[in-house]
Amino acid sequence: FQHPAQVEDGVAAFDALVVSGIAPQDITTIGDSAGGNLAIAITLALREQGKQGPGGVIAFSPWLDMENQGETLATNNDTDALITPELLEGMIAGVLGDTVDPKTPLANPLHADFTGFPRLYVTAGSVESLLDNATRVKERAKAAGVDATLSIGEGQQHVYPFLAGRSDLVAEELEKLAAWYRA
């Protein structure tokens, strides 16, 4: 579906949880890759609508840059086993179509104002092409005063925490994430 349908669906799901009796601050939006974008964008959309958002956001290897200009798209192109700039171009066309500006903050959170954003935990693999999406969003959030944590898995690929049970490094990452979540 074309933007902003995904964000609207996420906001509707969040609103349904709140209506069911769950306090907004007890909800954490979580996503990987494009879902990492949504975990962030849903939170931004809730704030735009004057609603209380989640208590935290977790983004695994978020795909945020709809301008497809990230430095690590080039520097990690030979080490990323999945993502290519060409693949992302096709995905961007599918998400934005011909009508959505790639700098639209709810489509590309790298252009968003993070003032008042909740705690944020971001992971990325050091050899993945979307590494700089993670580093840039953490810096934007920190600059706005957000409690933002970035964890980079050395030698790891896109959404590497999904290798749970197969890697000591992933087990350590999930322990760090759990400690962050409980804090």
Beta strands in the chain (DSSP E): 28-32, 56-60, 119-125, 148-153
Residue 33: active-site member: yes
Looking at residue 128, its amino acid is E
Residue 158: active-site member: yes
Among the listed residues 3, 61, 129, 158, the single catalytic one is 158
- Does the pLDDT value for residue 42 go beyond 90? yes
Q: Is 61 left (phi over 0), alpha (psi -120 to 50) or beta?
A: left
Looking at residue 57, its amino acid is V
Residue 134: CA count within 13 A, CB half-sphere: 28
Among the listed residues 33, 61, 129, 173, the single catalytic one is 33
pLDDT value at residue 1: 78
Domains located in the chain, CATH noted: 5-182 (3.40.50.1820)
pLDDT range class, residue 131, cuts 50, 70, 90: very high
In the sheet that holds 56-60, the strands lie side by side as 28-32, 56-60, 119-125, 148-153
- Does the pLDDT value for residue 113 go beyond 90? yes
pLDDT range class, residue 83, cuts 50, 70, 90: very high
Among the listed residues 61, 128, 129, 173, the single catalytic one is 128
pLDDT value at residue 31: 98
